[in-house]
Amino acid sequence: MRRGVWVLTGITAILAVQQVAAQGDLDTSAFDRSIRVQDDLFMHVNGNWLRNTEIPSDKSNYGSFIKLDDMSSDRIKEIIENAAEETHAKGTLNQKVADFYRCFMDEKKANQLGVSPISKPLEKVTTISTPQELVQHFGELGVIGVPTPIGMFIGVDEKKSTDYLATIVQGGTTLPDRDYYLSDDDSYVEARAALVVYINRVFDIAGIDNGPRGDEILALEKRLAAAQWSRTDMRDAEKTYNKTALDDLVAKHKNIAWKALAAGAGVPKLGEVNVMTPSYFDELDKIIVETPMPVWISYLQFRVIDNFAPYLSHDLEHAHFELHLKKLAGIPEQKPRWKRAVGAISGAGAGDFGALGEAVGKLYVDKYFKPEAKARMDELVKNLLRAFDASIDDLSWMTDTTKRKAKEKLSKITTKIGYPEVWRDYSGLEIVPGDLVGNIIRSANFEHQRQISRLGKPVDRTEWGMTPQTVNAYYNPPMNEIVFPAAILQSPFFSVDAPDALNYGGIGAVIGHEISHAFDDQGSRYDGDGNLANWWTDEDRQAFEKLTKQLVAQYREYEPLPGKNLNGELTLGENIADLSGLSIAYKAYKMSQQGKEAEVLGDWKGEQLFFIGWSRVWQRKYRDAEMIRRLATDPHSPSQFRANGPVMNIDAFYEVFNVREGDRLFKPAAERIRIW
């Protein structure tokens, strides 16, 4: 878990009907002319595509982001396969990439080996006999990438952003969210039943028969889930900052052997930690001794099998797919093996492992990232920052005192575009031919050691939280930085050949979105140096929260599936960033024109193209199971509401498309929400 990163991922009736065709960088064949812009911008721009596009059988959703992700995967595949066709000197990056790929693609060997590649961690679990040994084993399993009830990572100290700090966080459940264990919703009840079937099945495949199985493991995970904080509470930067001496935790909890955990994780001299979810650990202290040790042993064996199942025999890999992807995300078919191999090496997609992410990222950038794209992005970012600065001056709800502090923070935002200036060093990672699971374990251990080695050292501000081949962007509060990987700097988000309006409505709004995260409900709690510190007057914070409550209420009304509404609190930060980012991007676009007449493409003027460019980047459709999962877990609103929700609050949208009372996207001027 990475803390402190906010990630993204009809025209008016008087307009003439134009021939459905590609114009410039705009493919109008996706449009649905029967739906007016004023009623549904998203469907007007994407409706025909939505009706005529099938979600690929190996995906839970499909659209603009996924198309670019597929392109990135295809490119990485070519890079990796070219490396795999040759023999390379041991220890070189090409050797590591090639051997990792070759052993992943050897399905025959994986079937022959069965469960034997994880026999040692499975056997070691059976030696646990005391609570102290159990907790120490939590730490040891974390080193090789196996999730347990106690998660630990090394991040920036959010109240002293020059230092690193170990953070302890809740964990240990298999289903996507605590609600899957605690709610009586039919889909969640079915998911729990499927989990029990899956647990029993993988034990049978692994040939393990040691008593407690699916029902008892589910009961344990239910107790863990009941103790966990909700995702909405986990968003609260102040509540989740609880810096504590490890000795104080030892005194507080009789059954959580904190020093044994630290020793197991390889940091025996750990002094201070941030405890993100204190009440969870108070309850875990009870759960540890109230759960019979045989149940804990079976539970940890299951965690080991579940974690490595995608890299083991076909039977285990398929069982893992049936639960995690087919049942919980609605995906009918498993990805081709080469795609899973690329994901394990590259880490570009959601949930991918990424053992050598920056190694292949450097090759990706050398071949596919154009210098002119970086130069154009530099210009766009500068324009967006200028527009945000001007927008602060125009805020009617903020006092001058806080405006000055907001401008100070804005001036300190740093920008990273395309790829890291300093590439990650993989010289200490050994990749062994023919040893897939061993390579996965060594890669997890390598990353763990990289993280814990940072303790006591100055914060590395050159580090990236995403690989260049990732189709996404993020804002990192403790670093006060906005980051745009190379792979997102492509159409429909960005093109050096596209009209400015489309670029500002696409990547410009993404830039504005990430800048706005510095000033959303949580990002605004950090100062310009990345520290959790209050730079607001009480009056201004109250005015800000009055506006954000209105945005919560707007998004709560959206109903992606019958009877299932959005969680306005969970999605608040992203909704603020969408609204403010789009508003600032439009202002930046108008400033960039410098009084010149807007460009025209077909029947559209630049101001209209801006909003069309915004809507087309959210082209996406979802399977129902995936939508259910996202409503519980995703801080982003579904794409339709990302396209339509913000424009209802932006006066320029009304002016450009002549939106009037009675139109579905109309909101009275007095009710429009204007934040940044």
Under the banding of pLDDT at 50, 70 and 90, the label for residue 14 is: very low
646, containing H or E segment: helix 639-647
Give the model's pLDDT for residue 21: 34
DSSP 116: G
Q: How confident is the model at residue 595 (pLDDT cuts 50, 70, 90)?
A: confident
Longest dimension (CA), the chain: 77
Whole-number pLDDT of residue 603: 82
| pLDDT score for 496 | 87
For residues 91 and 214, give the distance between their C-alpha atoms in angstroms, rounded to a whole number: 43
Quick check: 214 and 195 in contact, CB under 8 A? yes
Dihedral sign, CA of 284, 288, 294, 297? positive
Give the pLDDT band of residue 352 (cuts 50, 70, 90): low
User: What is the rounded distance in angstroms from the CA atom of residue 563 to the CA atom of residue 538?
Assistant: 38
Residue type, 322: E
* Contact residues for 597 (Cβ-Cβ < 8 A; gap 6+): none
Paired tokens of 408 = 């100070």
Residue 351's pLDDT is: 59
pLDDT (average), residues 554-572: 97
Tell me, what's the pLDDT at 7? 47
Model's pTM, two decimal places? 0.93
Angle at 107 between CA 105 and CA 109, to 5 degrees: 110
Is the pLDDT score of 555 beyond 90?
yes
CB 157 within 8 A of CB 165: yes
**pLDDT one-digit tens code per residue, 484-542:** 999 999 999 999 888 999 999 999 999 999 999 999 999 999 999 999 999 999 999 99
**447 pLDDT higher than 50:** yes
Cα(249)–Cα(258) distance, integer angstroms? 7
Please name every residue paired with 414 in a beta bridge, in sequence order, or none if there are none: 481
> Mean pLDDT throughout 323-346?
97
pLDDT-derived band at 32, boundaries 50, 70, 90 = very high
Structural tokens at position 595: 């009084």
Q: What is the pLDDT of residue 27?
A: 83
Amino acid at 272: E
Q: What is the mean pLDDT of residues 359-363?
A: 95
Query: Does pLDDT of 284 surpass 70?
Result: yes
- Which CA distances in Å does 320 have to 130, 310, 311, 620? 30, 7, 10, 26
403-441 per-position pLDDT tens digit: 999 999 999 999 999 999 999 999 999 999 999 999 999
What distance in Å separates the CA atoms of residue 137 and residue 141, rounded to the nearest whole number? 6
Where helices occur in 106-237 by DSSP H, the ranges are 107-113, 119-125, 131-143, 179-182, 186-206, 214-227, 231-234
Among the ranges given (260-269, 317-326, 349-358, 536-545), the one the predictor scored with the smallest mean pLDDT: 349-358
Burial classification of residue 632, based on how many CB atoms lie within 10 Å of its CB (0-12 exposed, 13-18 middle, 19 or more buried): buried
More confident residue, 18 or 337: 337
Q: Mean of the pLDDT values across residues 104-130?
A: 97
pLDDT digits (tens, 9 = 90+) for 606-642: 999 999 999 999 999 999 999 999 999 999 999 999 9
Of 421, 469, 342, 446, which Cα lies nearest the Cα of 83?
A: 342
Top-confidence residue, 98 or 27: 98
Give the C-alpha separation, 629 to 642, whole Å: 18
Nearest 10 degrees: CA dihedral of 659, 663, 669, 671? -150
How far apart CA 356 and CA 440 sit, in angstroms, is 11
Q: Is the pLDDT of residue 6 over 60?
A: no
Residue 237 clears pLDDT 50, i.e. is over it: yes
Pick the residue with more confidence: 596 or 305?
305
Crossing angle of helices 278-290 and 131-143, in 10° steps, is 120
Q: How confident is the model at residue 601 (pLDDT cuts 50, 70, 90)?
A: confident
CA 493 and chain centroid, separation: 18
Instruction: Report phi then psi at 31, rounded to 5.
Output: -70, 150
What value does the mean pLDDT of the chain take?
A: 94
What pLDDT sits at residue 207? 95
Residues 6+ apart with CB under 8 A from 617: 64, 492, 493, 505, 506, 509, 510
pLDDT tens for residues 452-488? 999 999 999 999 999 999 999 999 999 999 999 999 9
Running DSSP on this structure, what letter comes out for residue 429? -
Nearest to 35 by CA among 23, 25, 24, 45: 45
